[in-house]
Amino acid sequence: MRIPARGGVLRLAVAAAFAFPLVFLVIVSLHAEGKGLGRGLALPAPPHFENYARAVERMGNFGRLLANTLWITLASVAGQCLCCSLAGYAFARLSFRGRDALFLCVLATMMLPDQVAAVPRFLLFRSLGMVDGYGPLILPTVLGGAPFFIFLFRQYFLSLPPELDEAARIDGAGPWRAYLTVFLPLARPMLVTVAIFTFLATWNDFWAPLVYVLSPEKRTLTLALAGFQRTYDTAVEHLMAAAGIVLFPCVLVGFLAQRFFLRGIATAASKH
């Protein structure tokens, strides 16, 4: 009986360590201006929720910032799930010349850091006239930007019984119809897992918008938060409130999709 108790204490300690930054952020954001630091983790009485309204006001045109970020994130999530699952299906269930060699090339790209392709990618998008637009923020993700996800989908589709292909052919379904009606619905746990990772990465991305977005009306929330932080008279309480606003969708998605995310991780770990 002592082992589970120790395990519970360890899990609680790990959870507290991960939750501490978020709790600290929320508590500081609720203090009056100039009072957030140096008070430990004591909640203010009363809490100053107006800090969040002040943060939204100082970020400037919050509705446009939110709409820009949502559009980039949702387009990236949809494109990533579609293209990576389609590539994984082709590598796993279709036979064509050079399939294995091409898959090795996909795996090889996992060893290249993103910084290696940063300058060539920028030159490419500049030559296409796509700088100061959302294309450079969405297309790299949509067009197989994460080889690891292609690998996950391939391994998952390989684990499915070959009788599914035979049944699809008997029903007169070609590769496209089999992918859309048979294999893609079965890959729902993997789709949710990839969607969560893509959402978090795109929503929190700062480097790509900083490089490619030039017009103020096309800014994202991360750029607005960075500009908010650089203001010399910004109170730390307002800064924490702004950071909490930007972070809230990530926390919400994590809580709402936790069950599907854990199922996807278990599915990926159990497939050979």
Q: Does the CA dihedral 117-122-127-128 come out positive or negative?
A: positive
pLDDT at 31: 85
Average pLDDT, the chain: 85
Long-range contacts of the stretch 245-248 (C-beta < 8 A, 24+):
245/52, 245/55, 245/56, 246/221, 246/222, 247/22, 247/25
Where along the chain do the CATH 1.10.3720.10 domains lie? 61-270
Tell me the average pLDDT across 147-166. 88
Nearest CA among 241, 222, 257 for reference residue 68: 222
Which fold is adopted by the domain 61-270?
Answer: MetI-like fold (1.10.3720)
pLDDT digits (tens, 9 = 90+) for 47-63: 889 989 988 888 888 99
Tell me the average pLDDT across 253-257. 80
Confidence of residue 127 (pLDDT cuts 50, 70, 90): very high
Structure tokens at 251: 């926390």
pLDDT at 3: 47
Confidence of residue 212 (pLDDT cuts 50, 70, 90): very high
pLDDT at 46: 86
Tell me the average pLDDT across 65-70. 95
More confident residue, 6 or 215: 215
Tell me the average pLDDT across 64-70. 95
More confident residue, 194 or 263: 194
φ/ψ region of 234 (left if φ > 0, alpha if ψ in -120 to 50, else beta) reads: beta
Peptide bond into 216 cis (omega under 30): no
